[in-house]
Structure 1
């Protein structure tokens, strides 16, 4: 396991797409360890309505990967695709182009990733409520991020993805989900190649910090 300080873990957990090792099996015990840690995250009213699908079956991974690829192709052709953002900023557009390329790379290989983790929420009524969506998804997103941090600390790479949700109903049929369970994300999980993870360039804090109001 990498020896990382808390700050190193938090600042070097990257979206891993091109460097996921598709050939090396992932020990199911490692995934279980990461999920045990994820269950310590907070949830609204401590309801803990999360559920976790762990896909290792080759056929199910292939089917979910096909849905992801179809959705990703539409995304890459859209005005909001990573490669089309910040086109007037030469330095930043280069970064965006690399992100775009890595997204396309993963889209063609999602079904080959050794483990696909899908965090879900079981809703009391079966329907997403109107209005405060943040309150709903805030009851699973911290746990999903905890899973990704735990994976990083154990030498596993992950990426937060949601593009397959354009075909959420089709994915639910593949997964045999009950009607009251909704998917939150798709997290590919694999050993990674290389050891060069480092903090990414971000917009300076002072450009996004607002104190006591906007």
Structure 2
């Protein structure tokens, strides 16, 4: 499969969390997922340890079971204070954006079990230093982002999600994860309906940039 014709800057700024535009009817070749994970293995890791593991779920019954846990977690989240714009009542623009995000989260929540491939990046917590949480989680998160960039280049959509961790133990039992293996995220992976993704609205650079001091 040919790669999407994007510059590095375009790839970095248009790799979005895709929820409503995942093609649930089109199978994803496992080799494509393996290619993306192979690229993710080149990500930086704390102390060069590479304590990560990647669980790829394609079985329909397992995906459906994970989807049910995710749906329950999403419904809990959407009832919470942090959902649907309530964190930004004083900023109408951010409020509107968060409401749209809440709508797309709800959409994916009802369909996670139908996504053709679910990828769970995990880490071996027993092999990571306890004193350095940034190094521990920074390693797997950077690798997960590399996976998502590689997927975007191959016309696959993804979303970094963690709400399933409300049921981390249940999902670990479902997938037979050994003790000490910690899930970092749940990344739905599917071909996208169209490839015309755009950069998202973000804060102005001058609002967040500090040079030499705060």
For the criterion TM > 0.5, the same-fold answer is yes
Higher alpha-carbon deviation: 146-155 or 62-71: 62-71
Partner of 1:70: 72
Partner of 1:212: 212
Q: Give the CA deviation at 1:125.
A: 6.2
Partner of 2:184: 184
Partner of 1:159: 159
Q: Give the CA deviation at 1:86.
A: 1.5
Count of residues in Structure 1 that have an aligned counterpart in Structure 2:
212
Q: Aligned ranges for residues 111-122 of structure 1 at < 5 Å?
A: 111-122=113-124
Partner of 1:140: 140
Normalized against structure 1, the TM-score is what? Answer: 0.95
Normalized against structure 2, the TM-score is what? Answer: 0.95
Higher alpha-carbon deviation: 94-103 or 7-16: 94-103
Residues 83, 98 of structure 2: 8 Å contact kept: no
Partner of 1:101: 103
Partner of 2:47: 45
Distance in 2 of aligned mates of 1:163 and 1:136? 20
Q: Give the CA deviation at 1:74.
A: 0.8
Q: Return 5+ residue gaps in structure 1 as ranges.
A: none
Listed one character per residue, the Cα deviations across residues 147-169 of structure 1 (whole Å, up to 9, x for unaligned) are: 00000000000000000011111
Distance in 1 of aligned mates of 2:126 and 2:88? 41
Q: Return 5+ residue gaps in structure 2 as ranges.
A: none
Q: Give the CA deviation at 1:170.
A: 0.7
**Cα RMSD between the aligned structures?**
1.4
Q: Give the CA deviation at 1:91.
A: 2.3
Residues 155, 195 of structure 2: 8 Å contact kept: no
Partner of 2:22: 20
Distance in 1 of aligned mates of 2:26 and 2:127? 41
Q: Which stretches of structure 1, 4 residues or more, deviate above 3 A after TM superposition?
A: none
Listed one character per residue, the Cα deviations across residues 127-178 of structure 1 (whole Å, up to 9, x for unaligned) are: x83x532221012111110000000000000000000011111110011000
Distance in 2 of aligned mates of 1:122 and 1:97? 36
What SS class does the counterpart of residue 76 from structure 2 fall into? helix
Partner of 1:174: 174
Listed one character per residue, the Cα deviations across residues 39-74 of structure 1 (whole Å, up to 9, x for unaligned) are: 001111111110000000011111111111111111
Partner of 2:149: 149
Distance in 2 of aligned mates of 1:2 and 1:125? 37
